[in-house]
Amino acid sequence: MKTISKITIGLVAVAMLMVDCAAEVAKSPASKGASKTITEESLGLRKTDIYTEDSTIADKTEYGTAQATTSTKIKRAFQDAPPMIPHDTTGMLPIKTEDNRCISCHMPEVAGSMGATPIPVSHFTDFRPKGKIVDGKFELPTDVMKNEVAIKQEDKLQNARFNCSACHTPQSKGNLVVENTFEPVFTSKDGANKSSWAGSKMTEALDTVGDESFVTQEDVANKNSPAGTLGDSGH
C-alpha cells in the first residue's frame, strides 16, 4: 500500500512540473508568434527551387587570360601535384603527338629563359615493360614472369607523357561555394614550385629494376590468377 502511495505522489509531482514548464513556454516571446518556416529553396548551396533547373544559374567559369610567359605561376596543391596551367590555352588544345605547343616553352633547355616550369625528369623516363614490334604491333614478352621492365632515362619526352592536359589543366577563377581550408605540408624545400620526382626516388621499392629483379614463390603460386597476389612480393 505504501508503494502505491509513493508512486501516486511521484506521478502528481511530475504532472505539476510539466504544467509549470508549459506555462513558462507560453510566456516566452518566441511562442507568441508563428515559428520560422524553412523553405525548400533555402536548402542546399544553390538556394533555388529544388524541383526545377529553370532558375538555377551556375557561376560563370573564368580561366586566366594572361598569355604564356606573362602569367603568374600557381603553387602546387600538394607535394609533387601536377602544376596548374596559369595562362590562356587558346589555340593550344587539343594536344597531339605531332602538334604539342607546350614543349616549345617547357622543355628543360628553354624553360628557364621562358620563365616556364621545366618538364621533370620523370617525363623523360621510360617505365614501360620491355616489348617488341611484331608485324607492326607492339607485343609484351611471352614470359611475363621474368618481370622485365625497361626503366631508363632518355633525352626525349616519352610518348606516354605527350598529352599534357591529361594531368595539367587551367585553373578557374570562379568564386568558391565552399571555402577550401586544406593546407599542404611539403616534404621538399621547394615543393610548392618544383617536382621532386628524379633520380632514385622514381624507382624506390621496385623489385623489378636492374639485376636484382626476382619472382617470389607467391608470384609463381598465383601466376594463373587474374587478380595476382597481394602478398609481400611488392609487385
pLDDT per residue over 8-49, tens digit each?
555 555 455 555 555 555 555 554 556 677 887 777 777 787
Distance CA 161, CA 156 (A): 11
Residue 197 lies in a domain: yes
Q: How confident is the model at residue 63 (pLDDT cuts 50, 70, 90)?
A: confident
Cβ-contact 129, 145 below 8 angstroms: no
Across residues 56-68, what is the average pLDDT? 84
Q: Are residues 209 and 108 in the same domain?
A: yes
By CB atoms closer than 10 A (0-12, 13-18, 19+), residue 101 is: middle
Which residue in 121, 144, 147, 117 sits closest to 207, CA to CA? Answer: 147
Whether 55 is in a domain gets the answer no
Say if residue 110's pLDDT is above 70. yes
Over range 121-125, report the average pLDDT. Answer: 90
Cα–chain center distance at 84? 12
Single-letter amino acid code for the residue at 156: K
State how far the Cα of 213 lies from the Cα of 128, in Å rounded to an integer: 15
Total of domains in the chain? 2
pLDDT of res. 69: 87
In a domain, 78, yes or no: no
In a domain, 199, yes or no: yes
Task: Say if 194 falls within a structural domain.
Answer: yes
Chain-centre distance of CA 16, in angstroms?
60
Residue 3 is predicted with a pLDDT of 53
Q: Is residue 75 part of a domain?
A: no
Closest Cα partner for 124 from 67, 79, 177, 162? 162
Q: Note whether 123 and 161 are within 8 A (CB).
A: yes
Q: Decide if 175 is inside a domain.
A: yes
| Local confidence band at 235 (pLDDT 50, 70, 90 cut-offs) | very low
* Residues of the domain holding 10: 2-33
> What average pLDDT score do residues 50-79 get?
85
**Mean local confidence (pLDDT), 92-112:** 92
Angle made by CA atoms 87, 91, 97, in degrees to the nearest 5: 105
26 with 111, same domain: the answer is no
Rounded CA gap, 123 and 91, in Å? 23
- Which pLDDT band holds residue 133 (cuts at 50, 70, 90)? confident
Percent of the chain at pLDDT exceeding 90: 24
Residue 235 lies in a domain: no
Residues 116 and 208 in one domain: yes
- pLDDT reading at 223 higher than 80: no
Between CA 223 and CA 105 the distance in angstroms is 46
C-alpha cell of 126?
Answer: 621510360
Q: What is the pLDDT of residue 83?
A: 92
